[in-house]
Chain A
Amino acid sequence: MRRETRVDRRLDGWVENRAASGWRPRVDLRQLWDFRELAMALARRDVKLRYRQTLLGVAWAVIQPLLAATIFAAILGRVIKVPSEGLPYIVFVYSGLCIWTYISTTVDATARSLVDKSELVRKIYFPRLLAPIAATLPGLIDFAISLVVLVVFMVLTGVAPGLAVLLVPVWIGATIAITFTVGMTLAALNVEYRDVRYALGFLVQIWLFASPVVYPSSLIDGWQRYVYALNPVVGVLDGFRWSAVGAPLPPAADLLGIVTTVLVFIGGLVYFRRAERRFADVI
């Protein structure tokens, strides 16, 4: 009967609490897995709360990117005539916004994940990484809905993807990885430095302009293309458009985004693991 209560599985072993030392971040994946029900419970809470007491409910998941896409299509597509890799501009921009809406809202939610749960951080034990992990989940529902709408668009405009469509899950996975990496790092910084809260909106805006959401990445060339590709969202958007809506195959330069992501991930994780010892004391 008691067996179902969550804890560390090392039943006969001891669990230790001591001052950590060293720089190498150790992540106990098994322990994270043991706490998965908590992550799901927190994610479920966020999903339930998100549209509670709203008139339109889940429709917001469609309305937000749709409205943005329409405005961009009207101004950038019609008036300024931004190129769109030979695709109808609305499909081009909406496919980008599916990814971007997830990134921008989820980075924000993830960055706030620890501070918003300060009550939990102070009162119960859980692997602290669980908070940013749980925060990346609720946005996936909106993401999925927006992908359904994308399919509708493609059908209406007669855009068909090739075999590369099989790689769509890879790009979705990469999107989540990038979002988590940035969000987790910011979450840890946010506990100690609330500056993050103010910087975040600005950062997300810059990031939007530095990513090929409303314009194609092919506008940038030469050595600048390599610098540009350091932004991992460039590769993800190019790859996703290639797979999902039949845009051209992205250049190899886009792989540079992996380097940035891995570096930020390692740096963020080291910082997170070092800072988490103080979370309960300073949050």
Chain B
Amino acid sequence: MANTVIEVRDVSKRYRLGTENLPYRTIREAVLGWIGRSSSGETEMRDVWALRSVDLAINEGSVVGIIGRNGAGKTTLLKILCRITEPTTGVARMRGRVGALLEVGTGFHPELTGRENVFLNGAILGMGKAEIRRKFDEIVTFADIERFLDTPVKRYSSGMHMRLAFAVAAHFEPEILIVDEVLAVGDVAFQKKSLGKMDEVAREGRTVVFVSHNLAAVESLCERGILIDRGRIVEDGHARDVVSRYVRSFGAGSVERVWRDSEKAPGTDTIKLHSARVRPDGGSPFDPITTRTPIVLEFEYSNVEPGAFLNLSLHLFNEQGVLVLNAAPVEEKNWYGRPYPSGLVRDSCRLPGDLLNDGTYRVELLVVKHQTEVVYRDDEILMFEVRDEPDEQGIYGGRWQGVVRPRVKWKTNIHPIE
């Protein structure tokens, strides 16, 4: 019988914005506020609800993945679960030891040695000194830094730094583990290691709440998925279902975007976007894209400044945030490097098939003037999913590794020994 270990009831969280450039106030402002003058304009506060009436119950031993767009409220929810911040209304209750990994290596100090940092970081995470001492050798072996134990961390390479920080975090064993996606940074090997460790933790029967953009990781690690959108829980169910609904939901908003009202269209004074879409070559934006499919990205925008030298530039990022490629029309024959008349510009760019690995991709659009000056940038103009061909799972049945997925020609020759 499963016991509830996390219970969230009607939790809302309000942040006050309006002093964005000035995260803290000065006494002068506060005094002016008290005597009622700050409402006169410039320091007016804007309320933003990061979470609205969230209800949630999590059972002992379950592994729950929380997904959602940036700014949806995922991290705020985690911060409330680990009591870093207080809800504005409602209550969150946790039973058992709650350990938070919102960051790897919190409190690492560059002047301290590796050994000293292990103890400091362990204490910060919540481990007792005796516990760290007992796990110390294991941690050091895991991090593979025996020789540099008494060297200040500032002389470590970033890889060593990361390994040590992760090793401490990996040996932290609370009953309820709350992990932000910070675990999914670093190189691929590090990610594999951290995800493997998460899997291990989950198998041990501990309760894990895991926030990630890495949908594949959520699908494989978690049995339950929760989708948060604009501060509310909008989906809660089997991780697989929630992820696929999430991907579809972005599909609708992010493989094709059309701005009919030029007032609201993104752009600058002289350039306004009309549409952006991504589709498989020869198909429409809602058709599936697989690793084999050539992909077409299309953009329409109007230019009202005659004689402007313009071009688009695209950055494609994968779900780990790796910049996969930059595409710019440098080989375009008709208009590249020539002044544009005012009018509607339609740009399309075709990526060959057998290039991208499966996963979710984010497209960043730059509008460039005179080939150097970025006049407009949208870092998430489109989002799309590249899927595996159903018959093309790697021979191990898992995901093909790597950023790209070209079809590689192999040739094997065997000269048998007679």
Contact = CB atoms under 8 A, between A and B. Distances in A.
Interface residues of A, number: 45
A120 B124 contact: yes
A193 B93 contact: no
Interface string A44-55: 110011001100
Interface string B101-128: 0110011010110001001100111111
Interface string A4-15: 111110011111
A18 B92 contact: yes
A20 B126 contact: no
A15 B95 contact: yes
Interface in A45-81: 45, 48-49, 52-53
A123 interface: yes
Interface stretch (A88-96, A256-264, A274-282): A274-282
B349 to A, nearest CB: 40
A5 B84 contact: no
Given A45-B109, A124-B100, A193 B124 contact: no
Contacts of B80: 17
A41 B123 contact: yes
Contact of A281 (B30, B85, B125, B131): B85
A148 to B, nearest CB: 27
Contact of B86 (A5, A7, A12, A20): A20
A250 B26 CA distance: 41
Given A18-B91, A119-B106, A45 B84 contact: no
A45 B112 contact: yes
A62 B15 CA distance: 48
B412 to A, nearest CB: 50
A155 interface: no
A38 interface: yes
Contact of B26 (A5, A12, A119, A195): A195
Contacts of A282: 23-24
A111 to B, nearest CB: 14
Interface of B: 7, 15, 23-28, 30, 79-100, 102-103, 106-107, 109, 111-112, 116, 119-120, 123-131, 172-175
9 contacts: A4-B131, A5-B97, A6-B126, A6-B128, A15-B93, A17-B87, A18-B86, A38-B126, A195-B27
Interface of A: 1-2, 4-8, 11-20, 37-38, 40-42, 44-45, 48-49, 52-53, 119-125, 191-195, 277, 280-283
